[in-house]
Amino acid sequence: MVLLRKIITPLLSVRISSVLYSTKSLPKENKVKVGQYEINYVKVGNGKHNVLCAPGALGTIWTEFSHQIQGFDQDKFSLVVWDPPGYGKSYPPEKTFPLDFLEKDADLAYELMKALQIPKFSLMGFSDGGITSLFLAAKYPDAINKLVVWGANSFILPSELETYKSIKDVNKWSKRMSEPMIEIYGKERFAKYWAGWVDAMEAIYQANKGNLCADRLKNIKCPTFILYGEKDPMVDRVHVSHLHTHIEGSRIHLYPEGKHTIHLKYAEDFNKRVQEFLLQP
């Protein structure tokens, strides 16, 4: 249970407690048809610099990006934050986890921005959203202005797979750790989704020797900012150097005491650094 708490607490409970808005002041959510999904999203700000924000596994608009929705300069930026297909209110249909589910999410994100008539945009991707952002930048270079990723990896280490498998059974999670996800998904769907995600990681590891998108990094040509919490229990620090080495011209910022959710824990500093990067010519 100690190990479980060490892994899950920075992954979920900090995220869920991060919502800053009162219910009355929440920006309006909208839906748009993309493929078989009615994608739920929020658009805030009136700035010229458009940014798509991509949540992590089982993440939603409000569990992941409340600090950025509130904290970014809305005169300079326009943020589009989505519930990825099957997550949050982009449901039904249910989320499925084939080997290429992250790349499919990237394709749907690209189609979402086309549907919103935003042909050029930057990316802010956290965890799984960071992986989909790597796919996006590699596959659609003409559409991407700049790329920001954190808590992201382009391959799976054996030790990381074992970590995922150790937290697969949500019935072993404490009530405090599981309740926020149950509130969003319900008990059965939360358990199904999380087990499906872990199974997908294992299947990708077995089928692709752990490769998520490592072979695509060479195709990323846009300016890229990689941030990382050095005490992240989910993503090994080797991924930072790998991304930096294989994405030409990328830069790094490390948070020595940071864990997985540095955009929430260090929101003010994170927002400042990312905005400065995005606004640079």
Active-site hit among 232, 239, 250, 263: 232
From CA 73, how far away is CA 78, in angstroms rounded? 9
Per the residue annotation, which of 78, 127, 154, 178 is the catalytic one?
127
| Identified catalytic residue from 49, 67, 260, 263 | 260
* 105 has catalytic annotation: no
Pairing of strands 77-82, 37-44: antiparallel
The reply to whether 250 belongs to the active site is no
CA–CA dist 169, 241 (Å, integer): 32
| Cβ atoms of residues 264 and 150 within 8 Å | no
Annotation marks residue 127 as catalytic: yes
Angle between helix 158-166 and helix 187-208 axes, rounded to 10 deg: 160
Cβ-proximal residues to 181 (8 Å cutoff; 6+ apart), any chain: 12, 16, 58, 170, 190, 194
Catalytic residues: 127, 232, 260
